[in-house]
Amino acid sequence: MSVRASDSGHHGLPRVLAGLEPGGAVTLAAHTRIHGPLPDIPPHQLIEEVERSGLRGRGGADFPTSRKLRAVAGRRRVGPVVVNGSETEPASAKDRLLLARMPHLVLDGAVLAAGAVGASEVIVKVGSGAVDAARALEGAIAARSGDPVRISVRVGPEGYVTGEESAVVHYLNSEVAKPTFIPPRPFERGVRGRPTLIQNPETLAQLALVARFGSRWYRELGTVADPGSALVTITGAVRAPGVYELAFGTPIRDLLEAAGGPVEPLQALLVGGYFGTWVDASAAVELRLAREDLRSVGSSLGSGVLIALGESACGLHESARVISYLADQSAGQCGPCVYGLRAIADAVQAMAGGVAHGSEHARVLRWCSEVRGRGACHHPDGAVRFVESALRVFAADIESHRRGRCGARPAGLPLGDSAVAPPGRVERSRLVRAR
């Protein structure tokens, strides 16, 4: 490594958010001052360093990054590296933050990844709503020289499923932002029919730092099982919603405090956004942001979204809104998703409205188990997992709604049209030392 972590002051947090300035992108000069120059590291060494670091994808799938790199690196006529800046989870703001304010760190990671897999091109794909990100990326690309690869920005349509990997590839190939039947996977045949590496912006930002400072540095934060730092978007019933960078293993209680604390007692947390699951608040505050902890309650961090639901809200009502949104967001290609999610949404709506049949609950659970795994992509899987968690966590609400409508005011969980908390908050969090 050409730059030592101690030279740049990268001792703890922030890491990918280091140097974040209010409004506007970090310039190339500032970026180089903060992180050091783009390192000259042989491809195989980069992949090994990424492997040793334990870096995993931050787009939601949590797949080991080194394995993804290797899957493409061994192939001939490799296609472009795609930076998947779609960020279609409505409450998530971290990727847009990185692309709009730290574009050079993400681009560094993409260029390094391209070198590692033998790609000669980088495409950054964003949604049409991310105007600030697109503008910042164009500016950053223009400011860079000496990258051994061509870099371009493509803007695609908004929509929940447009960020799915095969949908991104489909869009880049034929301007249709819908998932395709797998196999083949992008690493086999992707953009222009070539092996394609597709990565989340945060993954590439982390990779750009691992390339500079190494795997041992990366593991100085987090735990042995969950090394490193992560960007989390926390929103809902907290005083200071926003994007936070913290170490894996941080107690959720600490994260809530960092976000200004709850505005009222919480009843539940939606962990992983709409593609995630509800966790009862009393259980959630005992957990750390760690795979093992979250798995123990049937949850996972996903794309890093946490939505806090206060006591005065109705979890059943909010869940009905979300599943209705998810049903509407189906790409419309697969019967079980199109019909199944709509039927489930209507039934949950009826339960929330207190007008459901007595057998509705059982029917919803049957539909959920039947729909699972029967779409071309995982949209229906996430939707039914969300519904099942809602029916579990808000079981008491189902009961009370059966006897009349619940009077709680809507919490206004952000759907596509609502603004999300202002991004850009950087917090130093408690270091969790690797054991």
Contacts with other proteins by CB under 8 A lie at 180-181, 333-337, 339-340, 343, 367, 370-371, 374-376
Q: Percentages helix, strand, coil for the chain, rounded to the nearest 5?
A: 45, 15, 45
- Token reading at 344: 């489930």
| Beta-sheet strand order (sheet of 81-85) | 150-156, 121-127, 81-85, 198-199
One-letter identity of residue 160: Y
| β partners of residue 124 | 83, 153
> Which residue, 115 or 375, has its beta carbon nearer to other proteins?
375
> Which residue, 241 or 336, has its beta carbon nearer to other proteins?
336
Angstrom CA distances, 173 to 151, 169, 185, 229, 276, stand at: 17, 6, 14, 34, 29
Identify whether the C-beta of residue 79 lies closer than 8 Å to the C-beta of residue 192.
Answer: yes
Nearest distance from residue 188's CB to other proteins, in Å? 16
The H-or-E segment that residue 230 falls in is strand 229-236
Nearest distance from residue 343's CB to other proteins, in Å? 7
> Which residue, 31 or 170, has its beta carbon nearer to other proteins?
170
Question: DSSP class of residue 144?
Answer: -
> What CA–CA distance (Å, rounded) separates 420 from 273?
12
> Which residue, 21 or 181, has its beta carbon nearer to other proteins?
181
Nearest distance from residue 380's CB to other proteins, in Å? 9
Give Cβ neighbours of residue 270 (< 8 Å, ≥ 6 apart). 236, 276, 277, 278, 279, 305, 306, 307, 309, 413
The beta strand positions in 21-171, using DSSP E, are 81-85, 121-127, 150-156
Nearest distance from residue 9's CB to other proteins, in Å? 51
Nearest distance from residue 194's CB to other proteins, in Å? 22
Nearest distance from residue 367's CB to other proteins, in Å? 7
Nearest distance from residue 336's CB to other proteins, in Å? 5
Nearest distance from residue 171's CB to other proteins, in Å? 16
Identify whether the C-beta of residue 26 lies closer than 8 Å to the C-beta of residue 20.
Answer: yes
> Which residue, 312 or 333, has its beta carbon nearer to other proteins?
333
Identify whether the C-beta of residue 35 lies closer than 8 Å to the C-beta of residue 18.
Answer: yes
> Which residue, 115 or 340, has its beta carbon nearer to other proteins?
340
Backbone φ and ψ of 255, nearest 5°: -65, -40
> What CA–CA distance (Å, rounded) separates 320 from 142?
45
Identify whether the C-beta of residue 116 lies closer than 8 Å to the C-beta of residue 143.
Answer: no
> Which residue, 158 or 381, has its beta carbon nearer to other proteins?
381
- Token reading at 71: 């899957």
The H-or-E segment that residue 116 falls in is helix 103-117
> Which residue, 133 or 167, has its beta carbon nearer to other proteins?
167
Nearest distance from residue 306's CB to other proteins, in Å? 31
> What CA–CA distance (Å, rounded) separates 243 from 363?
38
Q: Is 245 helix (H, G, I), strand (E, B) or coil?
A: strand
> Which residue, 4 or 374, has its beta carbon nearer to other proteins?
374
Nearest distance from residue 181's CB to other proteins, in Å? 5
> What CA–CA distance (Å, rounded) separates 162 from 127?
9
Identify whether the C-beta of residue 228 lies closer than 8 Å to the C-beta of residue 222.
Answer: yes
- Token reading at 375: 């779409």
The beta strand positions in 248-390, using DSSP E, are 266-271, 277-280, 305-310
> Which residue, 371 or 432, has its beta carbon nearer to other proteins?
371
> Which residue, 374 or 405, has its beta carbon nearer to other proteins?
374
> What CA–CA distance (Å, rounded) separates 376 from 373?
8
Nearest distance from residue 332's CB to other proteins, in Å? 10
